[in-house]
Amino acid sequence: MMALCKVTGPATLPDGTVDVTDTTPVSWSSFSHERWHFLCRFLPRLADICPDRQAMAPFLLNHGTEDEMECQGYKTNSYKACLCLCLVVLCGGGPVGVLLAMLVFRWRPDWKLRATKSRCPLYRADAVLLKDISDRWWTETVDIIYVPVDESMLHVPDWLAPYINACPDFHLDPKTQTVAAKQYGSFGQVADCSYKEEDGDEEDVKETTSLTSVNDKERLSVRFFDHQRRRYIWDASTRCFTSLRGLDDTTPCSYFYQAAGMSREEQNRKHVLYGENTIYIEVKSYFRLLIEEVLNPFYVFQIFSVILWSLNDYYVYASCIVVISVISISVELYEIRKQAETLRDMVALEAEVSVWRGGDEYEDIPGQELVPGDVITIPPHGTMMACDAVLITGNCIVNESMLTGESVPVTKTPLPSPPRGEGQDPALYMSEEHKRHTLFCGTQVIQTRYYGGEKVKAVVIRTGFLSAKGELVRSILFPKPMGFKFYQDAMRFLAVLAGLAVIGFSYSVYVMISFKASVKDVIVRALDMITVIVPPALPAAMTIGSVYAQRRLKKEGIFCISPPRINISGKTKLVCFDKTGTLTEDGLDLWGVVPADMSVVRNAADLPRGPLLAAMASCHSLTLIEGEMTGDPLDLKMFEATDWLLEEPGPDNTRFDILAPTVVKPVTADTFIMGATSQTPYEIGILRQFPFSSSLQRMSVITRTLGNRHMDVYLKGAPEMVASLCIKETVPSEFHNTLMRYTLQGFRVIAFAWKVLDTSIKFHHLQKIQRDQVETDLTFLGLMVMQNALKPETTPTIHQLNDANIRTVMVTGDNMLTAVSVARNCGMVLSKDTVILVNASPPEDGQPAHVTWTYSEHPTEQSLVQGEARQPGNWDSGADMSEPLVEYDMSYQVIPIKEPEGRYHFAVSGKSFAVIRSHFSDLIPKICVRGTVFARMSPNQKAQLVESLQDLGYCVAMCGDGANDCGALKTAHAGISLSEAEASVASPFTSKIPNIQCVPTVIREGRAALVTSFGSFKYMALYSMVQFVSVITLYSINSNLGDIQYLYIDLAITTTVALFMGWQEAYPKLVPQRPPGSLMAPVNLFSVLSQVVLMIAVQVGTFLYLKQQPWFKALKPNPNSDNILCYETTVVFSVSSYLYIILAAAFSKGRPYRRPLYTNYVFMVCLVILLGFSTLLLLHPFTALAKFIELMVDMPFHFRLTLLGIISAYCIVVFVVEDFVVSSQVLRRLFRLRKKIPKNKYKLLEKELAENPDWPPVGETTYAMEEKYQDSTQS
């Protein structure tokens, strides 16, 4: 029987230990106190012998996010640590072995963890092993911090309560908020206890330290570890660690209004857990940086090579390498420290913050002391935010350009706190949904607005690296690898070279032993072969292309904060564009206003005084900053068209019984004339603003007109959304037809609505009223029609991308038909192509979710040449929609349901996209492959679309203005933000060019960088192979290259050409074919292998040709000499010198991705000098030079000319192979023949759709329950 007794709970003894003898016997009444102690001590050891496999299984942290990691627990094992040390000492040769082991363990800390610790359940771990989604390993130490609690009955504050409830050893009494011990349910938890022997020896068993356990009467212990500036704490309810969060996505909105300020003691307790509110950027000392750099594998290999060359008497060469390495390290250390200092200065923020302590008590404290839950006040004249905080009183005008790239100031309003209905869950704060009510760390508060003398208050929700700014800095400090195949293939190629090094090592040992060399010479020569075959400059050669491309982009006004993205952008296959401000002009021109009961009014100032004019004058977020009106461009145009005046709060503005509302009023003279009746001026005060929300697609204001007792609500937004909020009878019957007339022309249409609030609602109710209470039962007022012209650069750029076979997609928050019209006008959708609207509806009224497929309307070719134009009539005109529209000479017709002649494109709204993702997930790939227009998309949906496209194998670029596109810009392989800022953390690329011309520029430079990287990598690989063949050939006769010869090859030739190969600029035109993205691509493999064969043929051929000469005298090896001065070494050196130069030129390809080779002037000068000097050494080296380089001078001149002829022939063959064979379309087609099935999913889908003429089912409805059946029948 396993259970011997039932534990009713431990009791705390006066001396602080835990007594576990309070038990109820189950079967043995004589079960002794000593036996129970024995089990307490034995069972944890038994658990080590028979571990719980389920508890030891890896656990996922941050599941479903880009920070997802597997977490495994490890604990100290003294036996394994001692055994590891003994093996290292015995097998590695004493101290040398220990040093090597320390180096390896530094490079691979996961190996150290496995070698010295044992796997264990997470609840016993003192260290964790982490594996991220990129298969990178990390190790962290588990520590304990102690959080003070109230001395009286261990009272626990609300913020710590969730952690207590997760504890296996203690629970929180919901009534008293006090900690009590839980009853144990298994023996495994007994190990949480501390036991004191009778003789006074104390043993603390801590294998299962809980998240929060009482160590004494005044504090709780919390197990945690820190990883990449994020803290993870132990949650015993899930038996894993969880990321420490602030007061974000699980906090009820009502909590923030109940916050009454924290005491200093409560703040200090939180400070223990959350730490300082700083975004700490460590600036390491030069000495520490030096040690870390020297211990880098690259420099360790360099040190090893220098020692080896010195042992081989290559002192000059070794000294030069040391000098170059010292200079390189010095420059690198300076750059690293400078970047760290720059980043530190950027994020550094030292400011005093006023914290509310409750009542009338306020205290100024350093910003570093803020913790989540603090209530702070925002000064009237603004400040730089030191944390993320939720606004609960007053308004703030904020500049968020540093975070989003959006230069237009944003108005922040108090967080709504809807009352909790009976049986309803409380409304929760959501970071994305409530961003208009959140002040983010690092943003500049320009001004504040407050009422009635009340301070502008905000509740701190996130601090330090938990804040929005902290997360962005984390993304800079710890960038996520993109998984680009180029780097993966480079590592595979290095493995191949390492294999060749092993072969060369073995051959060298064999040859040197056959020549009866000493043990020292055998070891030195064999190890020297490793330094030959694995070039130490290879990592630098791989990145040189992106470094030069980054400089060229900067000259074009495009800034890049992530150089590896440049190479990836060269593989771009699809570009997503935002519409407003990206494809179209930022500024909008008011075309006219269409009231609900009259014809078109072209001049808004001509509207009669009434709700529509008042809505245009007041429903906006404009503000005055230093006397200049700023805000959304649409709001600016709308307000300017009314000819009204906006006044900011001032000391005399007290007419509304409150302090300082924003006032709007007409500027015409008659509105200010006070007659005999003392007529009240016509002025409107804006009392409350509900800012624009992308998800709600609307904004509204509550106003009061001077002299009126009631207040009004004005609302503007997407016409479809506004109409749905209005009383049905007030929406004109021709609403949808009239809306279609304008959106089909590409106009941007905004709708207005209005209602009068009940007089019982007073001002003090406004700050707590919810927007869904006032944004209902509205009266429809009319439409505002805005002209949003395409930027002049848009259409040529889209055509340029189309000609390059790069797909273009529009992702916008605007109206569907407006977006389709813009897509046609800019060339995304060609005139012969067809647009299919995909409308999806969620389940409702007992009907399942369904998708309808309908053809969109578009202009006929015949209409494009018709002349007469008609002005759109009023709401009830009912005119024929096929008649030409105003100023555009175009007409529209409904396309009959038939097979389209051109390509078809899907147009999907954000609402439909969400329904399809939830109920028709199998359709998402098809929608993405043929989708061109995605309208009414929220910021989250834009990022989801980019992810879906990436899942299909597209290399996706995203171009937007940064405001609502941050998520998509960061998700895309190449996110390009159009911003005036020099660099924005919102995206990898930031363009000062305010149009999409930057997109082809980034792609062209990416292609050039990619080709440069390929060329440099192939050159370094061939350089190693050439030197490998040269050395192997000379080893066969017990000779080698001389010190100066190595110096000339490695420094004068290889370093020079590798440095300037990347100076070739990008080709000015985009071509349809993309460069290969993999080193293992058949074309690249063919190039490398063919050049290896040619190189071996030339080196071996000239060596054999030398031996056939009648004057040739073979080398007689001298065991006491290096045997360098001989005919064989001279020929091998002279021929190989040419090979390095010729291969560098051959791999510096020009068209179609880079400008021709001859345009790289510096590189060409270097080639000419090196070729001239090599020719001098081959044909006629003067005596002093020959002696210095150790060359034979008595070779016949005709033999030298023959060698030059062979080299010339080789040069011709090399260029023919590279420029005519490798680059030929014939070879590419031959390689494609073996690709029977495309690797990318989108190509397979394109093929499937092309072969299925019955899909999509236009004119039909697809229901969720029938989806799989329909797909099977259609396929």
Map 1113-1147 to HEC letters: CCCCCCCCCCCCCCHHHHHHHHHHHHHHHHHHHHC
φ/ψ of 1000, rounded to 5, equals -60, -35
Residue by residue, DSSP assigns 495-547 as: HHHHHHHHHHHHHHHHHHHHTT--HHHHHHHHHHHHHHHS-TTHHHHHHHHHH
- Residue 195 is predicted with a pLDDT of 30
To 5 degrees, how large is the angle CA 235–CA 236–CA 238? 75
Of the given ranges (151-160, 161-170, 198-207), which has the lowest mean pLDDT?
A: 198-207
Structure tokens at 276: 């300082």
Task: Give the chain's mean pLDDT.
Answer: 78
With a cut of 80, say whether residue 901 has pLDDT above it: no
With a cut of 80, say whether residue 154 has pLDDT above it: no
pLDDT, tens digit (0-9, with 9 covering 90-100), for 942-964: 889 999 999 899 999 999 876 56
Q: Of how many residues is the chain composed?
A: 1275
Residue position matching structure tokens 């006070």? 674
Structure tokens at 21: 């003898």
What is the edge-to-edge ordering of all strands in the sheet holding 662-666?
589-595, 779-787, 748-756, 712-717, 698-705, 684-693, 662-666, 644-647
pLDDT, tens digit (0-9, with 9 covering 90-100), for 989-1019: 888 888 899 999 999 999 999 898 888 888 9
With a cut of 60, say whether residue 328 has pLDDT above it: yes
Q: How confident is the model at residue 404 (pLDDT cuts 50, 70, 90)?
A: low
CA–CA gap between residue 190 and residue 1 (Å, rounded): 18
- Residue 679 is predicted with a pLDDT of 56
Alpha helices in 371-480 (DSSP H): 401-404, 468-477
Nearest to 926 by CA among 875, 992, 851, 985: 851
What is the edge-to-edge ordering of all strands in the sheet holding 410-412?
383-384, 444-449, 395-399, 410-412
Q: How confident is the model at residue 422 (pLDDT cuts 50, 70, 90)?
A: low
Q: Which CATH number fits domain 352-419+427-477: 3.40.50.300, 3.40.50.920, 3.30.300.10, 2.70.150.10?
A: 2.70.150.10
Q: How confident is the model at residue 182 (pLDDT cuts 50, 70, 90)?
A: very low
Nearest to 931 by CA among 940, 923, 920: 923
With a cut of 60, say whether residue 619 has pLDDT above it: yes
Structure tokens at 85: 């040390």
| Cis amide bond preceding 1253, omega within 30 | no
* 572, 482 Cβ separation under 8 angstroms: no
CA–CA gap between residue 365 and residue 268 (Å, rounded): 12
Q: Tell me the mean pLDDT in the region 253-275.
A: 86
pLDDT, tens digit (0-9, with 9 covering 90-100), for 507-523: 888 888 888 777 887 88
- Residue 139 is predicted with a pLDDT of 92
The beta-strand segments (E) located in 890-955 are: 892-893, 904-909, 931-935
Please tell me whether residue 415 adopts helix, strand or coil conformation.
coil
Q: Tell me the mean pLDDT in the region 326-340.
A: 82
* The residue type at 904: Y
Q: How confident is the model at residue 1240 (pLDDT cuts 50, 70, 90)?
A: confident
Nearest to 1028 by CA among 1038, 1015, 1037, 1041: 1041
Q: How confident is the model at residue 19 (pLDDT cuts 50, 70, 90)?
A: very low
* 462, 246 Cβ separation under 8 angstroms: yes
Q: Tell me the mean pLDDT in the region 236-242.
A: 80
CA–CA gap between residue 661 and residue 652 (Å, rounded): 11
pLDDT, tens digit (0-9, with 9 covering 90-100), for 750-771: 999 999 998 888 877 777 788 8
pLDDT, tens digit (0-9, with 9 covering 90-100), for 703-747: 998 888 889 999 999 899 999 999 999 999 888 888 888 887 878
Q: Which value, in Å, is the radius of gyration of the alpha carbons in the chain?
A: 37
pLDDT, tens digit (0-9, with 9 covering 90-100), for 269-318: 888 889 899 888 888 888 888 888 788 777 888 888 888 888 877 787 78
In this structure, the number of other CB atoms found within 10 A of the CB of residue 1105 comes to 15
Distances (CA, A) of 1082 to 1075, 1089, 1179, 1234: 12, 10, 39, 10
- Between helices 816-826 and 735-743, what is the axis angle to 10°? 20
**Known active-site residue 578:** yes
551-585+791-857+900-996+1235-1275 folds as Rossmann fold (3.40.50)
pLDDT, tens digit (0-9, with 9 covering 90-100), for 1156-1204: 999 999 999 999 999 999 999 999 888 899 999 999 988 999 999 999 9
Helix (H) or strand (E) holding 1092: helix 1082-1107
* The residue type at 700: S
Structure tokens at 13: 């003894």
| Cis amide bond preceding 1256, omega within 30 | yes
With a cut of 90, say whether residue 479 has pLDDT above it: no
Q: Tell me the mean pLDDT in the region 860-875.
A: 36
Of the given ranges (23-27, 98-102, 1107-1111), which has the lowest mean pLDDT?
A: 23-27
589-787 folds as Calcium-transporting ATPase, cytoplasmic domain N (3.40.1110)
* 1075, 1006 Cβ separation under 8 angstroms: no
Provide the pairing of β-strand 892-893 with 858-859. Answer: antiparallel
In this structure, the number of other CB atoms found within 10 A of the CB of residue 1119 comes to 11
- Residue 1175 is predicted with a pLDDT of 94
Q: How confident is the model at residue 483 (pLDDT cuts 50, 70, 90)?
A: low
- Residue 964 is predicted with a pLDDT of 67
Helix-, strand-, coil-residue percentages of the chain, each rounded to 5? 45, 20, 35
In this structure, the number of other CB atoms found within 10 A of the CB of residue 189 comes to 18
Report the Cα–Cα distance between both ends of the chain, in Å, rounded.
Answer: 61
* Segments making up each domain of the chain, as ranges: 143-249, 289-347, 352-419+427-477, 492-534+1010-1075+1091-1200, 551-585+791-857+900-996+1235-1275, 589-787
In which region does residue 1173 sit, left (phi positive, over 0), alpha (psi from -120 to 50) or beta (all else)? alpha
Going by C-beta distance under 8 Å and a sequence separation of 6 or more, which residues neighbour residue 425?
none
Comparison of pLDDT for 276 and 36, the residue scoring more: 276
With a cut of 90, say whether residue 129 has pLDDT above it: yes
**What is the 3-class SS of 169-226, one letter each residue?**
CEEECCCCCEEEECCCCCHHHHHHCEEECCCCCEEECCCCCCCCEECCCCEEEEEEEE
In this structure, the number of other CB atoms found within 10 A of the CB of residue 723 comes to 20
Structure tokens at 1054: 């290889």
Which residue among the candidates 248, 374, 578, 1050 is catalytic per the annotation? 578
Comparison of pLDDT for 653 and 982, the residue scoring more: 982
Q: Tell me the mean pLDDT in the region 492-500.
A: 78
Distances (CA, A) of 373 to 41, 104, 261, 1236: 43, 45, 8, 61
CA–CA gap between residue 928 and residue 574 (Å, rounded): 11
- Residue 1268 is predicted with a pLDDT of 42
- Residue 924 is predicted with a pLDDT of 93
Q: How confident is the model at residue 1230 (pLDDT cuts 50, 70, 90)?
A: confident
